Chain A
Amino acid sequence: MPADGLVSQMRRGALEYCVMALIQHTPRYAFEVIEALGQTGMLTTEGTLYPLLSRLRRDGLVRTEWRESSDGPPRRYYELTPEGRRALTAFRSEWTSFRASVDGILQEGKKS
């Protein structure tokens, strides 16, 4: 199916903003992010989240902090930076209008 590649590319592109949205209010460690994404089908191979998180950190969109955990080794928590917040806000509005346009056109196509 030709749309397969497109959809996976879209999912990939949107995933980084989904991850940023998940840590917007409370810092989380990677495993929590994976658990939160788990039910959505956004992340098919869990291992691929780690390169994404590294990338976000390199770009200065998230920062990390090690915290002790009561039941195991220390965990690395991810938290949005002000820059990450701006990027997420920009994406939200872009996405909303993008989704509205595509939905509108798809609905239009259905009617005719």
Chain B
Amino acid sequence: MTAPHADQLIDGYLARLNAAAADLPKGARQELVDDVRAHIAEARAREPQETDATILNILDRLGAPATVVAEARERLGIQPSVPYRPGLLEIFALVLLLFMWPIGVVLLWISPAWRMRDKIIGTLLPPGGYWGLALGGIFFATAHAGGVCVITDAASQAFQSACQTPPGPSPLETILLVAAVIIIWVLPLITAGYLAIRLRWGRQPQPAMASLQMENS
């Protein structure tokens, strides 16, 4: 065997092809990788003498994984993942999400810069749930206030004395209160920060580095 790196070269190529095809439908991606694998096997069988160079030639003739996948996208009518540049729309979305939630959330859904999962996270987590939480908090507060015992029965004086002492916050209530503050004030910032990060990193186009590794190996 004079092709000591044959398997390594081929596996590397197929891995890059598979990675480049990440946004194809699963069936189409699998079929493409299987077809190319069969092609390589077929081409190898035809080489009278196999060396690393013949393997590299076979892979060269196949074309760069990105080229093959671009063709697949076009033939399947799949929009290439164009590097969308986040701009004013996204900035407004993030700011309004914090201060004018309904408008912010509409912008969040309009913008193509976030994936579905992030849009749902942005909608459900505070500040998405901010108004829901605020309403919940108000409800909780009133319910709590109304919960002060209204015992007029003279026979339960002892109870009343206990009830009249202002109900100081129990440890549990303190924890709940702190949690509520965190949820209402900190989580929105975390959510906005998360969305800002996803905005920048979530839509990176496929790294073009993959095809370069070939030359180095």
Residues of A near B28 (CB, < 8 A) are 54
- Which residues of chain B are near A46, meaning CB under 8 Å? 39, 61-63
Q: Is there an interface contact between A51 and B75, defined as CB atoms closer than 8 Å?
A: yes
Check B39–A30 contact: CB distance below 8 A. yes
Q: What is the bound-complex CA distance between A41 and B73, given in angstroms?
A: 22
Q: Given A48-B68, A52-B71, is A30 in contact with B35 using a C-beta cutoff of 8 Å?
A: yes
Which residues of chain B have C-beta atoms less than 8 A from A31's C-beta? 39, 42-43
Cβ-defined contact, A48 with B71, below 8 A: yes
Given A54-B32, A54-B72, A73-B38: A48 touches B63 (CB 8 Å cut-off) = yes
Q: In the complex, A50→B42 CA distance in Å?
A: 14
Q: Interface 1/0s, chain B 62-78, versus A by CB < 8 A?
A: 11110110011011100
Q: A46-B62, A46-B63, A73-B38 are contacts. A51–B43 as well, Cβ < 8 Å?
A: no
Contact of B31 with A by CB under 8 A: yes
Closest B-chain residue to A34, C-beta based?
Answer: B39
CB atoms of A51 and B71 under 8 A apart: yes
At the interface, yes or no: B36 with Cβ under 8 Å from chain A?
A: yes
Contact A47 B76 (CB under 8 A): no
Known contacts A30-B39, A45-B61; is A50 also within 8 Å of B45 by CB?
Answer: no
Interface residues on A, range: 20 to 34
Bound form: Cα–Cα A51–B63 in Å: 13
CB contacts under 8 Å to B, within A38-71, are 44-48, 50-55, 58, 71
Residue from B35, B42, B64 within 8 A of A72 (CB atoms)? B42
Chain B residues near A73 (CB, 8 Å)? 38, 41
Chain B residues near A28 (CB-CB < 8 A): none
| Alpha-carbon distance between A105 and B43 when the two chains are bound, in angstroms | 43
Chain A residues within an 8 Å CB radius of B67: 45, 47-48
A30 to B31, CA, bound (A): 13
Instruction: Identify which of B35, B36, B64, B76 gathers the most chain A CB atoms within 10 Å of its CB.
Output: B35
> Which of A30, A34, A54 meets B75, CB within 8 Å?
A54
Q: List 27 A-B contacts (CB under 8 A).
A: A31-B39, A34-B39, A44-B63, A45-B61, A45-B64, A45-B67, A46-B61, A46-B63, A47-B17, A47-B62, A47-B63, A47-B68, A48-B71, A50-B31, A50-B32, A50-B36, A50-B39, A51-B32, A53-B35, A54-B28, A54-B31, A55-B75, A55-B76, A71-B45, A72-B45, A73-B41, A75-B38
Q: Which 7 A-B pairs have the closest CB atoms?
A: A45-B63, A51-B72, A47-B68, A47-B62, A48-B71, A55-B75, A50-B35
- Given contacts A45-B71, A48-B67, A48-B68, list 18 more A-B pairs with CB under 8 A: A29-B42, A30-B39, A31-B42, A45-B68, A46-B61, A46-B62, A46-B63, A47-B67, A47-B71, A51-B32, A51-B71, A51-B72, A52-B71, A54-B72, A54-B76, A55-B75, A76-B35, A76-B38
